[in-house]
Amino acid sequence: HRILLLGPPGAGKGTQSTRLADEYGLDHITTGDALRANKGMETEYGTPGEYMDAGELVPDPVVNEIVVTALEDADGFVLDGYPRNLEQAEYLSEQTDLDTVVFLAVPEDELVDRLTGRRVCSECGATYHVRFDPPEEEGVCDECGGELVQREDDTEETVRERLRVYRENTEPVVEHYREEGSLVEVDGEGTPDDVFDRIRDVVEG
Ligand code: AP5
Ligand code: ZN
């Protein structure tokens, strides 16, 4: 499978693509995680962290490089967080074909709640939510015992900026796949299990 998972910040792309990768034995290619692991890397455009902490997009050449390297090694994959503008979509179409394009639809109020309540494990990267998916012990990862922290860009102000950037740059990408006829919209509300069942139906369609 070559799956693209699109959706606004907080739609559940990370949660669902991790499950898809497990279920079908796919590489999980996520530009957000790759960039977070290299926030301080010096590039000719500055560091990725300068853009990320402000909620802005990291320049295309830096992100395209990450994706092309990951695609070289991947047999099947689920792509999460890329493409985020029409230029990236164009670049991607030159690198690979896609079998399935899923758009996860979630209303904006719910996105803000999900992101401001998200906690991530500082050791293993597992994702939680203070209300929707709390760990057994507050602030401690169920998987590895690591400390749970809030992502730098999950403050309400930066979340609003990320949503603005999404509307301006990424919604045209969603429209592009919709017009092409390849996009399948999935309701991203309900429990993560409910959403996963819906995506699986599309993938196995
Ligand atoms: P990135 O890491 O890709 O962030 P994002 O797109 O904003 O998406 P998120 O990771 O915030 O949300 P998600 O949809 O994965 O939701 P999750 O599953 O965690 O990018 C971060 C930054 O990196 C960008 O701002 C940019 O600077 C840079 N960047 C990345 N890619 C780039 C690119 N291609 N070009 C340029 N720059 C790039 O879920 C969210 C929360 O909700 C969690 O707490 C979870 O537990 C909870 N949750 C999940 N599902 C449900 C459910 N069904 N019900 C209730 N709660 C749920
Ligand atoms: Zn952990």
ipTM: 0.96
pLDDT of residue 45: 97
CATH number of 2-107+156-204: 3.40.50.300
* pLDDT tens per residue across all 205 residues of the chain: 999 999 999 999 999 999 999 999 999 999 999 999 999 999 999 999 999 999 999 999 999 999 999 999 898 999 999 999 999 999 999 999 999 999 999 999 999 999 999 999 999 999 999 999 999 999 999 999 999 999 999 999 999 999 999 999 999 999 999 999 999 999 999 999 999 999 999 999 8
Residue 129: predicted pLDDT: 96
Report, in angstroms and rounded to the nearest whole number, the Rg of the chain calculated over CA atoms.
Answer: 16
The pLDDT score that the predictor gives to residue 205 is: 86
Report how far Cα 49 is from the mean position of its chain's Cα atoms. Answer: 17
d(CA 133, CA 91): 36
Active site residue 118: yes
Ligand 1 atom at shortest distance from the alpha carbon of 81? 3
Q: Which of 19, 114, 119, 162 is catalytic?
A: 162
Residue 183 near residue 98 (C-beta atoms within 8 A): no
Tokens for 107? 């209303």
Q: Are 109 and 142 in contact (CB under 8 A)?
A: no
According to the model, what pLDDT value does residue 115 have? 97
12: left (phi over 0), alpha (psi -120 to 50) or beta: left
Residues, CB-to-ion distance under 5 Å, ligand 2: 121, 123-124, 126, 141, 143-144, 146
**pLDDT recorded at residue 73:** 87
pLDDT in tens, 111-166: 999 999 999 999 999 999 999 999 999 999 999 999 999 999 999 999 999 999 99
Interatomic CA distance for residues 174 and 44, integer angstroms: 29
